[in-house]
Amino acid sequence: MNQDEYLKQKAEEYRKKHQEQVKNDPYYPQYHIASPVGLLNDPNGWIQWNGTYHLFFQWMPFDTAHGAKFWGHVRSENLVDWQLEAPALTPSSWYDKDGCYSGSAIVHEGKLYLFYTGNVKNDEVREAYQCLATSTDGQVFHKQGVQIEVPDGYTAHFRDPKVWKEGTKWYMVIGAQTDQEKGSVVWYESEDLNDWTFRGELSSGFGYMWECPDYFQLDGKDILLFSPQGLSASGIDYQNTYQSGYVIGEWKDDFTHGPFVELDRGFDFYAPQTTKDEHGRRLLFGWMGMADDNEPHHPTISNQWIHQLTIPRELVREGDRLYQKPVPELKELRETKEEHTFYDNWNGPIPRVSEWYFEVSKEKDIHMSIFRYATMEYNASEKSIRFTRPRLDNGEIEERIGMLNEPLHSLHCYLDHSSIELFVNGGALTFSARMFPDPNEETFEVKGSGTLSIWSLRKSV
């Protein structure tokens, strides 16, 4: 048995051994992709191929901490029901032995190509290789080895290739750190997906490292998405340990663009990746987590798993802002519906696995308490949304704030045992967070005036 087969077998044994414990955890999600066992982080290789959606994820099967990552793999026909596949990549080769790090997928001549970063650490000295694996059936992946080495001027923090085609050429962006420890995104081009030519920096300037770049065009504009590290908190911005956001502009000779905008205002959102599906939609998954001090305080680690992804979201451009919208396919999850119209307040139990939509009927302050744990407040005079939850380490209340540029008209929310995704005003702002209220707590309290629709949702993973 070679090392790849050995690692796959070990991961499967480990998954089977713990699957009851993991799935019976009251915090394990019912319709989000979560770690089958161990630790999950970034979405990778996100693509639709011959009708089927393939999504890969950074996966450490053997531990609830970071380590030598695999690429886990799930597939779906409808963006709702997901099936777990065998891992696509294992850290079995000299050039990826300490992790098959993040990357992307493209389809070329009937084959699926996965570009990823091989992470190597010998005596704490890091090496990074941009690697390729291909598949003809979307199930078994064959490594093709190292394609690109770190160019002069950059440290070994050089990773997360995202590849796409424009005209007859292939392009790649990579997250990088310069020798001066400045964050940047560099780009390459290729005629044949074989020989890659280094073309320099697409953008750079703040933080010490930019991870997980993604480049795409949306509605006539050029957009670069990335996850910078090393930004200091500033007012209501950059409150998380690491950030994740985008710049919008025009890429001619240079890429001229506007300011960096955070994509999500919640506590847990990082390393998103997009793809254009066969309907022409720009679809995004994010990691609902962060590599930081909170991780050891997640109560799920005692049940051998940690972290989940977001729901799939469509990105839509409105001027210089990206809106995020839950994909309409998720309506298939709906089971029962109730509707309440009220003028001052409403209290009631709502299912822990549910979706609700609140349409505001009168412009005034709103307060919501979710499972006696998280709160959402709208301040009508400031047009601000404030979201709170207790800190995972010491229980003190922490907050995140987002500003609207028009009055609040709607709140749309997805709840799944230990996660909340809030879409404000049709996705102008989103708040994504993990939350760990008492598993039996279903109390929902609203002060405000409007119509609240609540759906219980079925299980789909």
Contact residues for ligand FRU, defined by CB under 6 A: 41-42, 58, 69, 101-102, 117, 159-160, 211-212, 270-271, 291
CA distance linking residue 204 with residue 177, whole number of Å: 9
Q: In this complex, which beta carbon is closest to ligand FRU, that of residue 209 or of residue 330?
A: 209
Closest of 379, 357, 371 to residue 451, by C-alpha? 357
- Contact yes or no for 203/224 (Cβ under 8 A): yes
116-121 long-range contacts, CB within 8 A, separation 24+: 116/44, 116/45, 116/71, 116/89, 116/161, 117/158, 117/159, 117/160, 117/161, 118/93, 118/146, 119/68, 119/69, 119/91, 119/159, 120/94, 120/95, 120/96
For residue 20, the SS3 value is helix
Task: Tell me the closest approach of the beta carbon of residue 393 to ligand FRU, in angstroms.
Answer: 21
Q: In this complex, which beta carbon is closest to ligand FRU, that of residue 266 or of residue 437?
A: 266
Residue 193 Ramachandran class (φ > 0 left, ψ -120 to 50 alpha, else beta): left
Closest of 360, 371, 382, 375 to residue 422, by C-alpha? 375
Task: Tell me the closest approach of the beta carbon of residue 159 to ligand FRU, in angstroms.
Answer: 5
Q: In this complex, which beta carbon is closest to ligand FRU, that of residue 243 or of residue 324?
A: 243
Q: In this complex, which beta carbon is closest to ligand FRU, that of residue 271 or of residue 306?
A: 271
- Contact yes or no for 240/267 (Cβ under 8 A): yes
The pairing of strands 197-204 and 183-190 is antiparallel
Based on the residue annotation, tell me whether 42 is a catalytic residue of this protein: yes
Task: Tell me the closest approach of the beta carbon of residue 202 to ligand FRU, in angstroms.
Answer: 17
Closest of 211, 184, 214, 183 to residue 198, by C-alpha? 184
Q: In this complex, which beta carbon is closest to ligand FRU, that of residue 270 or of residue 444?
A: 270
Task: Tell me the closest approach of the beta carbon of residue 297 to ligand FRU, in angstroms.
Answer: 18
Question: Which residue out of 25, 42, 96, 268 is catalytically annotated?
Answer: 42
Q: In this complex, which beta carbon is closest to ligand FRU, that of residue 105 or of residue 370?
A: 105
Phi, psi angles (nearest 5°) of residue 409: -120, -25
Task: Tell me the closest approach of the beta carbon of residue 396 to ligand FRU, in angstroms.
Answer: 26
Task: Tell me the closest approach of the beta carbon of residue 96 to ligand FRU, in angstroms.
Answer: 11
The residue type of 13 is E
- Contact yes or no for 411/277 (Cβ under 8 A): no
- Helix residue spans in 287-363 (DSSP H): none
**Residue 278, strand partner residues:** none
Q: In this complex, which beta carbon is closest to ligand FRU, that of residue 68 or of residue 374?
A: 68
Task: Tell me the closest approach of the beta carbon of residue 64 to ligand FRU, in angstroms.
Answer: 14
For 271, 345, 360, the CA distances from 451, given in Å and listed in that order, are 35, 11, 7
What residues are annotated to the active site? 42
